[in-house]
C-alpha cells in the first residue's frame, strides 16, 4: 500500500566523523593484528587510541588500510564473502579514493566512512575526507495511521520516501529505481546509518537520519512523496 506524505527539512549539516565509532575493543583488535597485544596492559583509553594511531602511522598508508579493513570485515573474511586479495585491492585504492561512496555494496559504506576517519587521523589528512550528512526531517500525513508504515523495518520505507525529494537523475534514483518501486530494498539498510525518531503528533513525525552525502546531499528542503513497506 502506498502512503503519501509531505516532507520538510528542518536541519542539515555535513559530518566528517561519527562519534564513538571506535571503541577500546576496536583499538585492541587492530593492535593485535599488528602484533602489539602484549604491550597493552594498563593503558588508559586515551593512550590505547594514541598507540593505535601511532602504530598505524608507522606503516605505509596502504598497509595500514589493509589492517583496518581486515578488522572491520573480519566476519566477511571468515565467511568467505570477502577475500584477502579483495581487501588488499581496495586498500590500495583508499588513499586517493572515496571508498565510503564508491564501494559497490552500500551495506559496507558506513564501515568505510569510519575507516577513513581513523586513517585520516593517523596519517594527518593523507586519506580523503569522508563526508556524511545529518538531517532532521518533519513528516506530515493526513491520518495518524499513515505512520504505521514505519513500524517495522523503517529504513527502506524512509529511503523510498526521500527518493521523491531527489532529482530523477540522482544516483539513488538511477541505480535503485527497481528497489524503490519494488517489493524489497535490502540496500537501504546501508543508506541510512542511524535513524532516530524525535517529536511526534497525530499528523506529524520528526526524524533524524545520518547518512552519506552520496545519497542525500541534494535532498530538497520541502517536497511531497509516496512510499511503501518492504514485503515480509
Count of beta carbons in the 10 Å neighbourhood of residue 227: 23
Residue 24 has pLDDT above 80, yes or no: yes
pLDDT tier at 43 (50, 70, 90 boundaries)? confident
The four Cα atoms 112, 117, 119, 125 give a dihedral, to 10 degrees, of 130
Distance (Å, rounded) from C-alpha 158 to C-alpha 216? 12
Q: How far apart are the first and last CA of the chain?
A: 13
Phi and psi at residue 71, to the nearest 5°: -70, -50
**Where do the H-state alpha helices sit in the chain?**
24-33, 45-57, 61-72, 74-79, 84-93, 99-102, 109-122, 154-163, 171-175, 177-181, 213-216
pLDDT of 42: 78
Whether pLDDT at 55 is above 80: yes
Q: What pLDDT sits at residue 192? A: 98
CA distance 223 to 200: 19
pTM, entire model:
0.94
- Cell output for 38: 602484549
pLDDT computed for residue 148 by the predictor: 96
Phi, psi of 45 (to 5 degrees): -60, -40
Phi, psi values for residue 14, rounded to 5°: -80, 145
Give the relative orientation of helices 45-57 and 61-72 as an angle to the nearest 10 degrees. Answer: 130
pLDDT of 165 > 80? The answer is yes
Kindly tell me if the per-residue pLDDT of 37 is higher than 90: no
Query: 170 φ, ψ to 5°?
Result: -60, 150
Per-residue pLDDT tens digits for 212-226:
999 999 999 999 999
Kindly report, residue by residue over 193-210, the tens digit of the pLDDT.
999 999 999 999 999 999
Using a pLDDT cut of 90, give the percent of the chain over it: 93
In the chain, where are the structural domains located? 3-16+132-227, 24-122
Averaged pLDDT score across all residues of the chain: 95
Contact 97, 128 (CB under 8 A): yes
Amino acid at each position: 500500500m502506498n502512503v503519501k506524505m509531505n516532507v520538510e527539512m528542518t536541519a542539515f549539516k555535513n559530518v566528517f566523523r561519527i562519534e564513538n565509532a571506535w571503541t577500546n575493543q576496536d583499538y585492541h583488535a587492530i593492535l593485535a593484528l599488528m602484533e602489539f597485544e602484549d604491550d597493552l596492559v594498563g593503558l588508559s583509553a586515551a593512550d590505547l587510541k594514541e598507540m593505535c594511531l601511532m602504530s598505524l602511522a608507522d606503516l605505509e598508508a596502504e598497509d595500514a588500510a589493509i589492517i583496518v579493513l581486515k578488522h572491520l570485515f573480519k566476519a566477511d573474511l571468515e565467511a568467505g564473502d570477502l577475500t584477502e586479495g579483495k581487501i588488499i585491492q581496495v586498500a590500495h585504492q583508499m588513499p586517493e579514493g572515496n571508498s565510503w561512496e564508491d564501494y559497490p555494496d552500500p551495506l559496507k559504506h558506513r564501515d568505510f566512512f569510519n575507516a577513513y576517519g581513523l586513517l585520516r587521523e593517523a596519517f594527518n589528512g593523507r586519506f580523503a575526507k569522508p563526508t556524511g550528512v545529518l538531517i532532521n526531517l518533519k513528516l506530515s500525513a493526513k491520518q495518524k495511521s499513515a505512520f504505521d508504515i514505519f513500524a517495522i523495518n523503517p529504513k527502506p520505507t524512509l529511503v523510498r520516501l526521500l527518493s521523491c525529494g531527489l532529482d530523477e537523475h540522482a544516483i539513488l534514483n538511477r541505480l535503485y529505481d527497481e528497489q524503490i518501486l519494488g517489493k524489497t530494498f535490502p540496500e537501504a539498510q546501508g543508506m541510512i546509518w542511524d535513524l532516530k525518531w524525535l517529536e511526534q503528533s497525530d499528523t506529524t513525525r520528526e526524524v533524524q537520519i545520518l547518512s552519506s552525502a552520496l545519497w542525500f546531499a541534494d535532498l530538497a528542503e520541502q517536497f511531497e512523496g509516496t512510499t511503501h513497506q518492504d514485503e515480509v
